[in-house]
Amino acid sequence: MNKVLVPLAKGFEEIEGITIIDVLRRAGIDVLVASLDANKLVKGANGITVQTDLEVKDITSDEIDMIVLPGGWDGTHALADDVNVQRLLKEMDAKGKNIAAICAAPFALNKAGVLKQNYTCYPSVEEQIRTEGYQGERTMVVEDANVLTSRGPATAICFALEIVKKLKGEEKYEMLKGGLLATYCGE
Residue 4 pairs with which residues in a beta bridge? 31, 66
Answer whether 176's CB lies under 8 Å from 27's CB. Answer: yes
Is residue 103 annotated as a catalytic residue, yes or no? yes
3-state secondary structure 100-158: EEECCCHHHHHHHCCCCCCECCCCCCHHHHCCCCECCCCCCEEEECCEEEECCHHHHHH
User: 147 vs 72, 110, 117, CA distance in Å?
Assistant: 19, 11, 10
State the catalytic residue, choosing from 103, 121, 158, 185.
103
Residues annotated as catalytic are 103
